[in-house]
Chain A
Amino acid sequence: MQRRTFSRKYLGIPYALFLILFVVAPLIVLFYYAFTNGQGEITFGNLTGFFTDPNTLGTLFYSFGIALVTTVVCLLLAYPTAYILATSKLKAKSVILMIFIMPMWINFSLRITALKEILTWMEGNLAYHPFLNTVLGMSYDFLPFMILPIYTTISRLDGALLEASRDLGAGERETFLKVTLPLSLPGIMSGVSMVFLPAMTNYVVLDMLYNSTYIMGSLIGSYFAAYNWNGGSMIALILLGIICLFTVLTGGAQEENTRGGALL
């Protein structure tokens, strides 16, 4: 077996080392900073500080609200769109789907600039409707990420099930409610996780829309700007906790990963 000194599994070593260095080590450092103060003493002050400060708590609830409303808006827009496209008998529906996905490939900051100009023209001053503008901006940014996974699940539905449902006497509405909708749940879950979490953390959208209100992500940004690594690490850790919780709750619905744009 002399010539077998090369083994394919060794190829994984550089990547494993890379992940340890840039994924695991940063998390350990984050943990260390979150539970120490500026002098390097161990403290729970950052944690208790977060949960006793009305400002940070308010931000947490506000982000939840924003994320929830954005997710619902995206779902209400995306589901009918995905459903109509996936069930249509058009030959070119993959081309039409492409049109809905294309915005993913246009730099988000330029798209938000476009939206901002339009909203400024319609509303005059964006500061009058902070909540509305935030939800609009985020829905505009994240909508394709909700359409794609739902479309994929619906178009993969077994047509025989729908036929069976009709043969057994269910009407169109009943078939939809009892067959299509439950079976498209994985797509919905995947879409929800693609929208809800960014809506809690992606503060640049609301930053660009001249919004004075804060979401969870903005806290990291403000601690970063103030060189407060300890406070920032605690927020990052809390966000990480929320993300883990959410991923577990949605059953790790990240298989249909759409973040990089579905190229194939």
Chain B
Amino acid sequence: MIKKAWKWMVILLVLLFLYLPILVLAVYSFTDAANIGAIRGFSVHNYVTLFTTPELRDMIWGTVVLAVVSALIATVLGTLGAIGAFYSGKGMSSVITTMNQVPVVNADVVTGFSVCILLVVVFGVSKDTFIPLLAGHVTLCAPFVFLSVIPKLKQMDPSIYEAALDLGAAPFTALTRIVIPQIFPGIVSGFAMAVTLSLDDYFVATYTKPATFDTISTYVVNATKGAQTSIKTALWALSTVIFLLVVLFTVVMNIRANRDIPERKGV
């Protein structure tokens, strides 16, 4: 019994470490306080600031649009790349896989810096065109799409594709109607991963973004250094909103996963 209690203590302590800051900030986001520790009355003005300040709204939308666009491009490229690499000869396949591994193991600082050097310094592409930023984010994300599609290709039964061809389907039709549906879960999780990576990125964005554009990460990092209190506390509200969205998303995912299991058994 004592041992069990001790185990739960460990779990609880780690959870406290992970969540206490976010929760305390969430509580304080509903007050007028400019610092943690001061006790003030209830207020929603941080949320009002968050949703009405154009600067904040733009940076949130900018981050989301960037994440979705770069994840879409990364998903198309990575998926095609995975299919191509999987059906190529050994040599070609291992060349692509090795190149793919570079951004995965590389530090984001190095990825961002090297893309910036190539596009901005060598080719002279202006950062204001958003091309370096988009290229940087696709470079960051596509390898993870590739990595989540490859296992699905390996699990697939190759004879179904052959059967489709024997039954008269053109290779392209067989691809879109046989291969793609079977690897679809991999594509979806790759896309989700790409979105997460892009949303969380700081380094690639800092080195490649236009000076007037900010993502949540670059904005928050600058804001915490600045002295503008109203912006700082509005970010507490943002943190709380994102936290609640993540919780909601996780709960929905879990409910769906639990509902899917009996259905799968039925099949």
Contact = CB atoms under 8 A, between A and B. Distances in A.
B83 A12 contact: yes
Given A23-B139, A27-B114, A29-B117, A108 B217 contact: yes
Given A15-B84, A115-B21, A260 B109 contact: no
A257 B193 CA distance: 11
Contacts of B83: 8, 11-12
Contact of B122 (A29, A80, A99, A107): A29
Contact of B109 (A29, A203, A264): A203
Contacts of A58: none
B36 A117 contact: yes
A33 interface: yes
A106 B10 CA distance: 23
Interface string A8-29: 1111111110111011111101
A43 interface: no
B185 A264 contact: yes
Contacts of A220: 109-110, 113
Nearest to B165: A4
A104 B195 CA distance: 13
B142 A204 contact: no
Chain A binding surface SS class: helix
A16 B88 CA distance: 12
A216 B77 CA distance: 32
A209 B221 CA distance: 10
Contacts of B156: none
B216 interface: yes
Contacts of B116: 224
A208 B224 contact: yes
B125 interface: no
Interface in A11-55: 11-16, 18-20, 22-27, 29-30, 33
Contact of B21 (A13, A24, A117, A243): A117
Contact of A106 (B24, B108, B224, B246): B246
A84 B10 contact: yes
B121 to A, nearest CB: 6
Contacts of A23: 99, 102-103, 139
B18 A100 contact: yes
Contacts of A257: 104, 144, 147
B58 interface: no
Nearest to A15: B81
Nearest to A3: B170
Contact of B224 (A81, A113, A221, A263): A113
Given A204-B202, A220-B109, A15 B15 contact: no
A6 B200 CA distance: 39
16 contacts: A15-B80, A29-B114, A77-B17, A88-B7, A100-B14, A100-B18, A110-B220, A110-B242, A111-B239, A118-B21, A121-B35, A140-B18, A197-B105, A202-B109, A254-B104, A263-B189
